[in-house]
């Protein structure tokens, strides 16, 4: 597999700032947007009703599996972009790790925290806890899977924890900011849940994607240097 990590010269000299903004943009478009697609469409339907938007909303609302499939399909584009940015040429391994991470995280116990605390927390707090659990679970599982394809336990733990923590902090900060403006799930503001969820998932994906893109690229370069001592 090391042959798949031979980083071309252009990638070895690409700065991490460049990788950071590119991975943030790619994560927002290919992970954050599809993750919150249903809620963006609900907001769009409210502003500009149309038969096509209504159809997409109906399809996504019909089955949770439809939302997962949409996210998994778009994650392939994120994986390809990350492969290009990091110099890891076997982007299909990244895609496999991403898919495995999303599925494992989606069905992990942490993604069902609303079922654990549903009787003890008010709705807006329960929403924040459940969203944080889901995001942390998915990002940690994805980070671990990325470390596995690099065959590095250190990479797995580092990417899992940093991506998970940053993603959750970004998510919770966004929820708190909405709350400061009187927009909270379970409140009186029209379509509050759609607004908070769509934006918070996007911000979380951007922050987590930036960290994951830089971290993955750093470990790819580190492994390449170990394989080729004396290179910069």
Q: 54-93, pLDDT tens digit by residue?
A: 999 999 998 888 999 999 999 999 999 999 999 998 999 9
Mean per-residue pLDDT for 183-206?
95
Q: What are the structural domain ranges in the chain?
A: 14-227
Mean per-residue pLDDT for 118-143?
91
Mean per-residue pLDDT for 39-61?
94
Taking the whole predicted model, whether its pTM rises above 0.85 is answered as yes
Q: What is the 3-state secondary structure (H, E, C) of 57-98?
A: HHHHHHCHHHHHHHHHHHHHHHHHHHHHHHCCCCHHHHHHHH
Q: Do residues 43 and 195 touch, judged by C-beta distance below 8 A?
A: yes
Q: pLDDT-derived band of residue 120, with 50, 70 and 90 as boundaries?
A: confident
What percentage of residues in the chain have a pLDDT greater than 90?
A: 75
Report the 10 Å Cβ neighbour count for 181.
8
Contacts of residue 149, Cβ cutoff 8 Å, sequence gap at least 6: 1, 93, 94, 96, 97
Question: What is residue 25's predicted lDDT score, i.e. its pLDDT?
Answer: 97
Dist. CA 7–CA 109, nearest whole Å = 38
User: Is the model more confident about 150 or about 112?
Assistant: 150
Question: What is residue 10's predicted lDDT score, i.e. its pLDDT?
Answer: 40
Q: pLDDT-derived band of residue 227, with 50, 70 and 90 as boundaries?
A: low
**What is the phi-psi region of residue 135: left when phi exceeds 0, alpha when psi lies from -120 to 50, beta otherwise?**
alpha
Question: What is residue 221's predicted lDDT score, i.e. its pLDDT?
Answer: 92
Dist. CA 33–CA 181, nearest whole Å = 23
């Amino acid at each position: 597999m090391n042959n798949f990590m031979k980083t071309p010269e252009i990638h070895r000299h690409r700065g991490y700032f460049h990788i950071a903004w590119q991975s943030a943009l790619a994560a927002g478009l290919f992970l954050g947007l599809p993750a919150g697609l249903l809620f963006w469409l609900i907001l769009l339907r409210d502003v500009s009703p149309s038969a096509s938007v209504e159809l997409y909303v109906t399809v996504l609302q019909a089955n949770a599996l439809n939302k997962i499939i949409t996210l998994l399909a778009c994650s392939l584009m994120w994986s390809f972009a990350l492969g290009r940015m990091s110099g890891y040429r076997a982007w299909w391994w990244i895609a496999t790790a991403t898919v495995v991470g999303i599925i494992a995280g989606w069905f992990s116990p942490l993604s069902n925290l609303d079922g654990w605390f549903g009787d003890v927390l008010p709705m807006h707090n329960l929403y924040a806890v459940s969203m944080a659990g889901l995001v942390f679970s998915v990002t940690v599982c994805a980070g671990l899977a990325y470390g596995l394809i690099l065959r590095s336990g250190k990479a797995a733990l580092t990417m899992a924890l940093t991506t998970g923590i940053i993603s959750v902090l970004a998510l919770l900060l966004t929820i708190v900011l909405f709350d400061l403006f009187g927009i909270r799930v379970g409140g009186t503001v029209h379509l509050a849940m759609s607004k908070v969820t769509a934006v918070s998932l996007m911000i979380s994906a951007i922050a987590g994607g930036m960290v994951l893109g830089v971290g993955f690229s750093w470990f790819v370069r580190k492994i390449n240097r170990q394989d080729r001592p004396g290179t910069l």
